[in-house]
Structure 1
């Protein structure tokens, strides 16, 4: 069973979508809370503020540690009336750390951030009663005016045994797709955006072998890839593979059991064999994803549209000139779908769990929910997404104008967006962002992607599968590893088949049976 794109990165997202990371560490970035007990949210920590602890993903290593970060911390703690003790864990090893934390009840944070969809170990812990049921809490619209507006359909993916065990981080459905450096395409004679996989191959080939930067050297390649395998998940949909699971003949099956899956992998293997991606991609730190386009080493990018926008902003910030017209800045073209398809998000990317071992009382739970709810207010959305007025943005005619003169990891608010559910709004509604050309292009791509995005039809059932909780994570890795090995030529098609059989024998067949039982029982599908 394949992972969703965001299971191994972040978005990418980013937002959530920025897949950069450093070595994992547990650090307290908030000096106001250092050394204070966080065992109970009912404990007061200066100025009458409640105290909570929160485990979150670290993408850069500079989260809330930059110039003016102390001002950001003061602002969100004063606004929410909450002191927050952060436990930062590196993106690349986050899922492993999460597994360890779930077994360490004596050091359990009150809020745990999850990546992607509910993982098997989280579902298993939920079935054993590790998390608070938030169903009744979030119906209280007076206490939680934002969280109470959570989408009931998306909450189904946060429901285990009838209990809402987490709050999701809302995301654009149409985030994922194909983008490329516009001037490189012009330099090699491509005047129209790719529409088919043949068009993409042609572009990648020309970017690799026809000197798109015009420096006379053989120093470019087509598609940027790192060990973050999200791009493969996206590219598979171009072939009709589906999104993790697919409905065939009225039955749900994992995509690795489809003929389209092998067709897609064979195509990715071809671009690898033909040198259109770097040979060592499977060992390249995912924290560097995007750097090859910024440095002019690669010209095409498959991931979230907001990452393509950030690459474009990098060109603006660093005055990277177009290779075809040095009087202009380089730009990105955000295509989105290829063959009329792209990967859909689940409407969320990640989630927040309130643990019973960390949040020991209902008052603790309410303190956690109060913080999460207040962070969805416009004031905090502006702070988390745009930073400080006069430092990282200005207000012009009542609109936010982002300065874009700092790299994301240098901004004072770096990492704060990891605390936000984005319910009910994905961005501040007052003030609104004054949209730049890259942002306008991003939003247009979102809208186009959403029309054709391929959803995972099994998402809600996986969260309630006992077999998935038991073996899901382990057998998923079997398929992921085999996919990479096949692309790199370490195994052949027989090796892929052997991995698929191993998946089935270790619980995959039982998983298919259970998922389809849940599917048939679902009268609301």
Structure 2
């Protein structure tokens, strides 16, 4: 397998900036240590981010346990999350990369991939049991059809609906299964006194200026997830489809009837859940684990509100049961072609990362050492570091090297019934998620004009929902989108998609 070995020149000022960013990192110097015979990597440098002031040092007993487990010494290069992007760019510019470094699909990362800075892992990952990736996530992490990083997995089916199940019982209704059922529940939560206080003080669903609930719900109507295919197999934007317009009309209806909050377009997302906590609303479309956070806040305010929430994934429309997935990951670990010079060394690093995803390693990175940092009592996790910050610092940020592949295997605290249900919904949703076929594609036009294009349609959608725009006005917005670079964007996306498909073949 051929690989480029390009180094990028860097100015002295950038190198100086990089040195400044070392503050807060645990670093023993870039080892690049090979074995005495020159064929094995003894110490693996890992650059990742930290969220605590004192991340684990390389002499941490937990790191020593991980070294014994994996057979490799570890040189941890922790960078504060607030400065990670800057440090990442400086490191790329220096040409001196650690063996493994955390990155995302930023312009600088994509440019580095194209310059040959990272190994193409596409043909290797299936050989490692703990590095197997969901097919949709594979697409999402890919660049031009190839995989250059191992994702830190996140639930693909995380989007869901949180609902007051006690209100459902109060209005004599079952859990909604269809869009019509969902509408009926919104109506009842608004008009049928679901809290039983005799006041007209509730409504169906809370929405903020965060646009994701609309994006999720429109897939229930059969609208594509951002991009879909027309009858000729060409990629088209979601807002040009009939299904999107059907969803838009429905959004306008529930707004006109007062089934959602009138101020949604200006509501601060940080205040989004307050109406449910304050018992004003019965539904929020967000992520499944929001239910647990809401439950805690509601019970803290009123202990009588224990066990009043439930979660479900989606409701079905004419196109069946579908929902919008998350990307399924949060950043990737890529392997440097300058520090890892041969296929033999690459396989050593991949074996190391595979071992990091074992059950024992997951527990070490998340919980620490059993008997020191945690105990298991009747199978339940008991954290021993709650009041021992020094002990906790021995492992706390090590979750930032964990990929959770092919799944989470570590011990968790005792789960509430609601948390268990949320996990079940996320798993169930994986069977109904609708991927965005264009997500892996890297568009130059979108990089330049994406925000402007998104704003044109986003503003038009809001105006349509609140009745300030009719069908003709929305068509005008589409025309504006097309003439503002959208037409070229659609053309480019189709060309990129065909190129990516040809690479796979």
Check whether TM > 0.5.
yes
1:458: how far off? 3.2
Which of 446, 451, 456 lines up with 2:426 in the alignment? 446
Equivalent in the alignment of 1:423: 405
Q: Helix, strand or coil: the match of 1:165?
A: coil
Asked if 1:54 is matched to 2:48, the reply is yes
Asked if 1:343 is matched to 2:299, the reply is no
Separation in 2, partners of 1:353, 1:498: 43
Asked if 1:270 is matched to 2:253, the reply is yes
Which of 340, 359, 367 lines up with 1:378 in the alignment? 359
Change (3 A) 1:138 1:185: same
Equivalent in the alignment of 2:485: 507
Asked if 1:197 is matched to 2:175, the reply is no
Change (3 A) 1:140 1:262: closer
Equivalent in the alignment of 1:129: 115
Separation in 2, partners of 1:270, 1:415: 47
1:469: how far off? 5.1
Q: Paired residues, what number?
A: 454
Q: Helix, strand or coil: the match of 2:81?
A: strand
Asked if 1:248 is matched to 2:230, the reply is yes
Equivalent in the alignment of 1:26: none
Change (3 A) 1:303 1:132: same
Change (3 A) 1:445 1:354: closer
Change (3 A) 1:186 1:100: farther
Calculate the TM-score normalised by the size of structure 1.
Answer: 0.68
Separation in 1, partners of 2:362, 2:26: 27
Q: Helix, strand or coil: the match of 1:452?
A: coil
Q: Helix, strand or coil: the match of 1:459?
A: coil
Equivalent in the alignment of 1:234: 216
Equivalent in the alignment of 1:34: 24
| Aligned 8 A contact 1:246 1:457 in 2 | yes
Equivalent in the alignment of 1:146: 130
Change (3 A) 1:186 1:380: farther
Q: Helix, strand or coil: the match of 2:493?
A: helix
Separation in 2, partners of 1:267, 1:38: 59
Which of 301, 304, 308 lines up with 2:287 in the alignment? 304
* Aligned ranges 1:382-421 → 2 under 5 Å: 382=363, 395-400=376-381, 419-421=401-403
Separation in 2, partners of 1:321, 1:202: 27
| Aligned 8 A contact 2:313 2:323 in 1 | no
1:468: how far off? 4.7
Change (3 A) 1:292 1:493: same
Equivalent in the alignment of 1:182: 165
Separation in 1, partners of 2:462, 2:400: 29
Calculate the TM-score normalised by the size of structure 2.
Answer: 0.70
Q: What do the CA deviations read for 1:125-150 (whole angstroms, capped 9, x no partner)?
A: 35653852342896597xx8733x34
Equivalent in the alignment of 1:331: 308
Change (3 A) 1:312 1:54: same
Q: What do the CA deviations read for 1:189-231 (whole angstroms, capped 9, x no partner)?
A: 1330112223223322333344433445554432232332221
Separation in 2, partners of 1:442, 1:317: 20
1:309: how far off? 4.0
Q: What do the CA deviations read for 1:337-378 (whole angstroms, capped 9, x no partner)?
A: 21243324266233225497xx97448x98997996565343
Equivalent in the alignment of 1:86: 79
1:168: how far off? 1.9
Listed as ranges, the gaps of 5+ residues in structure 2 are 1-20, 34-41, 67-73
Separation in 2, partners of 1:520, 1:34: 45
Listed as ranges, the gaps of 5+ residues in structure 1 are 1-29, 57-62, 91-96, 323-328
